[in-house]
Structure 1
């Protein structure tokens, strides 16, 4: 009887194991089948659904968020803010991806991010006044951050234009005196140079190719910059084109003036060096020099009095 009982229990356990293995294999095959079905459905899904999944995070999240904040930013900035921002973008050289709407919405997003950062940073200090100042400072910095970025881009572009203009005018003068026309000389400069000045010359040529007059194209180039030397050059070329003055003669005079102005700017910056170095000299160099020179004497005097 004991042997029959043990044999029966073994048969029951074997049946349980067989049933469990069958169920697990069925579950695994069902899971694999479902996974294959999902992959097949995604592969055969309509193009509109797959495009939505293939879009980047910026296209799916950031762009709709900017569109929602655009209207609020326009109400905060004022009625003439679009013209002012467009003017700044022209002076900055129209950075890739930066438009009037993007700058306006970025001001609102920056204000929200700056406010949150200011509140979080203010929690590290005690006192409600300090926390309020931190929050207000973060809000103002985030709101005016895009304007500061554009101001920095305008300044860098103006400095680069100021450095490139004398050499470009020299190349224009050589090209015109060698027999090329003004338009061909400008094309030669735009082709053989790089930077914002080359881009402005290329844009001027494109405007002339679509039917705009040379004087209007030159004036447009001058309006897109805030460099006085550039506007002086544009004004001289417009007058030469209007009164029929030989272009080579005007370019020769402009080239000479630009070299003189460049030398004067270098001398001016050299004269500013002693004034600019005064503050670091007083607050940084002289204290360390006094410590190095007077330190051993002070230590010796202290040892003498203590003895």
Structure 2
């Protein structure tokens, strides 16, 4: 018994030390996110050569954190890493979140939760290995789940904001502003993820990208169908010489119709969604109140008879 307690204490202390060390190492690399975003901007504007030149002058992850990142990278196929970078883009590249840091946290989670999972499997080798593998899998994939959750929430916000932002953009264009100036006004006078995306579109155009390229990049950074349609319509308008104000006005009206239809669809699903809570929570209590007294009287009459 004393040996088991000592083993539990040792494994727990090792897991806690690994987790604490990982958090401290990650905190020491605070500037990495800003550096990565800057390098991505340089690469998008001036090409890979400029990125390599800038990267040579910047710091890298701390050695221990870099080893954890390399461990997670070896366990992940190349397509998974590319998908992670895309999901971070969908999540808006949150502060201190880069692909390198997320991969490092995957390595930290794997090493920290594997021994914690093993604690629950003490008793036989098979259960110890099984629980350790489960803990390692949870620690390895938990950062992916957090990134996916952040991306999903951000894309939902973009979808809700799009109609109102397009109305403001339409008003600015109809008032005589050019498209770039209208985008600048919208970015300055609104808040939220869509405002950030419009600011990025404006910055890319100021750095030399054409409007078509900036709009295609905007479409690639979202999963919202309405944004894809909006970007495609503006690209076609630019190529065919169609007035931008008319396209924006039609897009805003169409998006509002789709948003209303989506709200009506959700409202129609409500009765189905509340059916199971009603059956599981309300009906049993109601049956007890209605049938309970009658059941007691029937039982008493049978016992007395």
**Superposition TM-score, scaled by structure 2 size:** 0.76
Moved more, 255-264 or 278-287: 278-287
Q: Secondary structure at the match of 1:98?
A: coil
Consecutive unaligned residues of structure 2, counting only runs of 5 or more, are 1-23, 30-60
Match 1:59 to one of 28, 33, 37: 28
Residue deviations 1:264-293 (CA, integer Å, cap 9, x gap): 000010011111112212222211211121
Q: Does 1:162 align with 2:159?
A: yes
Aligned to 2:209: 212
Q: Partner residue of 1:112?
A: 111
Distance 1:127 1:162, change over 3 A: same
Matches within 5 A, 1:180-195: 180-195=177-192
- What do the CA deviations read for 1:215-252 (whole angstroms, capped 9, x no partner)? 11111111111111101000001111111100111011
> What is the Cα deviation at residue 178 of structure 1?
1.7
Counterparts of 1:15-94 in structure 2, within 5 Å, are 58-59=27-28, 63-94=62-93
- Offset at 1:304? 2.2
For residues 108-130 of structure 1, what are the alpha-carbon distances to aligned partners after superposition, in whole Å with 9 as ceiling and x for unaligned? Answer: 1111222122122344xx77665
- Which of 121, 136, 139 is the equivalent residue of 1:139? 136
Which structure has the larger Rg over C-alpha atoms?
1
Q: How far did residue 76 of structure 1 move?
A: 0.9
Give the match for residue 44 of structure 2: none
Match of 2:279 among 273, 278, 282: 282
Matched ranges for 1:3-14 at <5 A? none
* Residues 143-165 of structure 1, C-alpha deviations (whole Å, 9 max, x = no match): 11111111101110110000000
Q: Which moved more, 1:169-178 or 1:295-304?
A: 295-304
| Corresponding residue to 1:300 among 285, 297, 302 | 297
Query: Contact conserved, 2:69 with 2:106, CA < 8 A, in 1?
Result: no
Structure with higher RCO (Cα < 8 A, 6+ apart): 2
1:260 aligned to which of 257, 260, 264:
257
In structure 2, the residue matched to 1:10 is: none
Partner residue in 2 for 1:249? 246
Change (3 A) 1:296 1:122: farther
Match of 1:237 among 225, 234, 238: 234
Aligned to 1:52: none
> 220-229 vs 133-142, which deviates more?
133-142
Give the structure 2 partner of residue 291 of structure 1: 288
Q: Once the 2 structures are TM-superposed, how far is the Cα of residue 64 of structure 1 from its aligned partner?
A: 4.2
Task: Say whether the 8 Å CA contact 2:114–2:135 is kept in structure 1.
Answer: yes
Moved more, 156-165 or 293-302: 293-302
TM-score normalised by the chain length of structure 1: 0.76
Q: Aligned-residue CA RMSD in angstroms?
A: 2.0
Provide the rounded CA distance (Å) in 1 between the counterparts of 2:275 and 2:145. Answer: 28
**Aligned counterparts of 2:129 and 2:274: Cα–Cα separation in 1:** 37
How many equivalent residue pairs? 249
